[in-house]
Amino acid sequence: MANRRGRGNPPPQRAAHRSAVTDARKVDEVEKALAELPDLPEEVAEEVLPVEPEAVEADPARLKRLYDQTRRHFDYYKRESDKLSAREESLRERESATKEHETELAGREAELASAEKEIAAQRLSAKAGFVDDLRAATKEVSGKLDAMLVDAATWGAEGKAKALAAASAEQERLDVERAQLATEWESLRRLQAEVRALQTQVGSEAEFVKAMEGMLDARIQRRVEAAVVSLREDLEDATGQLEAARERIGAKEAEVQRLRNQLAQFGDDPEGLKRRVEDLSQKLRERKDELSRRPPEAEIADLRAKASRVAEAEGEVAYWRALHDQIDSQLRRYLVNVGELEIVRDERDALTAQRQTLRQAIAQQKNDWEELQTKESSARPFPACSTYDEEPSLTREVPGREVDDLADLVDEIRNRMATNSSTSFFYSEADVRIFLAGLAASRLHLLQGISGTGKTSLPREFFKALAGDTAVQIVEVQAGWRDKDDLFGYYNAFEKRFAESEFTKALYRALLPANSDRPMVIVLDEMNLAHPEQYFSVMLSLLENLETGQARLDLLTSEIPNLPRKFEGSRLPLARNVWFVGTANHDETTVAFADKTYDRSHVQVLPPNYERFRPTIVGRAEPISFHALDHSFKRAARDHTNEVAGVKEFLASSMREEFAKFGVGWGNRLERQIERFVPVVLAGEGDLTEAVDHLISTKLVRKLEDRFGVRPEDLESLADNIEIHWDQLERAGHPSKTLEGLHAEARKLRGGFGS
């Protein structure tokens, strides 16, 4: 009967085995499909990140595209989640079917074990002849026992051996199937765990997408509102500029009409008129040069009197010469008159003696003039600086007060600037703090911004509030300056006198006892009307050594007598308590600063307007001591060494590689400025974002302006990366200056609004 079953349909155990193998293959296919399921693409994650606000503001269609992309990716996650849920349900069904097969196999295994026991009992009972025990067998196996007894009776010992062999084979088959089922069950468990983990990940990412969508909507709404406000302000500025341009055009038209009238007045020969103007200009310069060499009024009056007498004498000489010639001619005509000839000879001798006397008088006058000129010029080659040495108000030392707290100093100066003069100046706390920190970072400041933003007023009012009215000197830069003599002055070897400029006199006043412990500033107004690298090049080199006290300015080629007291031979020492501030507009009348000027200076861009506030401190106060201010800067540096180290690490690890893509780097000079600038900002109650954002925007982003080969999308990508990395520096911060500068440069490269 067993052989007949083998020739026909497969036995139930073999069918179950094949079914289990088929299920295992299907499970493998499912596991393979799950392994091939794509993860969230990286570009999807990048597209979900919020783009820059300027791009959204400038292109509303991009906002719509961004929203559609976000919805598509959300739908993508949802579809993938549904697919995984369906696959998980299918796996559960297959797992249930597998469990049923396993239960069926277990039942069959139990049946086989029971059959073995029954066969063994039957064999023992047969030997013992226990017929009553066979009758006590259960109804469930009675048929099988009867068949086995028939087979045993029919085949005898051979049948029993075959039955045992069949039972053993079935047992082995069952063991193999049990091992395979155990393996498949373990695979199903792992697959189920992976499915659950993937489902959890999909759920968390779906929640992340929802959160990002909400955050993106809120951020876009805020930035759109800010963009509308900014566009309105830009529109108002543009309207004002348009009105100003119209006024300038009207003035130009009036000037053109005036020139046309002059052209009509002087005829149709503009070249001749131009030559005439040049001749007159040359004569005017000669007259001015002659006027600069003129002596004082008293001497001029005396010389005029002497010259008048000389002129009278020369007139008399001319008269007598004419008379002499007349008489001489008469002598030739009247040679026969000896008496008259003798008289004429006497007159001629008298005139000759008188002429000789007049010549001697003129020579004496020339000698007196040269002696007077030499005596006056050799007495004081630097007359103004020598006068300062004798002025009592400059020779007395003025004590300065201490600086208790830099945050209080920022607040005090800001309030005093609002009440320090007839015109109140309102600057934000951040700008005052940045300016104060710049004093610690560099001796040279560059203040930039549109006309009328208070670039000249900020250093003037700041130092007035800090150290009094005498601490400020403003020098107006001229467009024709080409070398250091235009800034410092020059030595006139003929007059033996130095033409002292306001810049040189201010440097000398800073050395005197009244100012030696007072912070002082020299403001170079409109510094970029001429090339600073030409007329200011000497100072750019000396500023590197100003902190060491070794800076000396060579004003003369050799030492001369009667120099002012503070001179060291032919050189003028530079005081450590002096700062130099240059204001700069950027238009068609100005030149650009070189990188070496930017690198050595503290750069600050002032906003177009400030908000008014009610000052809490009014009036003036005693001047701040320079040494106290310098000590407070050094104390802040000691108190914030950890923060400075963190900033350096942040720039090296997060920013260096980003800017290196554009060929922009930095060295020791910037790190020294960081060590001095950042601590003062923090001590003035600023934060790291304020300090580092200012440094990156003015030192690194500025180098990307008008840089060849830079694309707008590269700048936008840089802005996104900086915003992502910024959390490593300060979680609550936002580098607004840096991002605004990058987006503005990107708009300019695109040729859009604001370029």
Task: Answer for the pair 313, 358: CB distance below 8 angstroms, yes or no.
Answer: yes
Distance CA 641, CA 156 (A): 101
Residue 21: predicted pLDDT: 44
Residue 158: predicted pLDDT: 58
Phi/psi class of residue 37: alpha, beta or left (left: φ > 0; alpha: ψ in -120 to 50)? beta
Residue 228: predicted pLDDT: 73
Task: Answer for the pair 535, 420: CB distance below 8 angstroms, yes or no.
Answer: no
Is CATH 2.40.40.20 the right assignment for the domain spanning 380-623? no
Rounded to two decimals, the pTM is 0.54
Task: Answer for the pair 484, 537: CB distance below 8 angstroms, yes or no.
Answer: yes
Residue 737: predicted pLDDT: 93
483 token code pair:
């070398």
12-36 helix and 157-266 helix, angle to the nearest 10 degrees:
10
Task: Answer for the pair 666, 556: CB distance below 8 angstroms, yes or no.
Answer: no
Q: Which amino acid is at 189?
A: R
Task: Answer for the pair 690, 430: CB distance below 8 angstroms, yes or no.
Answer: yes
Please measure the distance between the N-terminal and C-terminal CA atoms of the chain and give it in whole angstroms: 98
Nearest alpha carbon to residue 416 among 622, 621, 607? 621
Residue 1: predicted pLDDT: 39
User: Got the DSSP string for 394-448?
Assistant: HHS----B----HHHHHHHHHHHHTTSSSS-----HHHHHHHHHHHHH-SEEEEE
Residue 278: predicted pLDDT: 78
Q: Which amino acid is at 500?
A: E
What residue segments make up the domains of the chain, in order of their start?
A: 2-230, 297-379, 380-623, 640-755
Residue 245: predicted pLDDT: 73
Distance CA 206, CA 630 (A): 56
Give 510's strand partners: none
Where the chain has pLDDT below 50, the residues are 1-24, 26-27, 29-31, 33-59, 127, 129-131, 134, 137-138, 152, 159, 753-755
Residues 6+ apart with CB under 8 A from 409: 403, 436, 624, 632, 684
Distance CA 383, CA 165 (A): 133
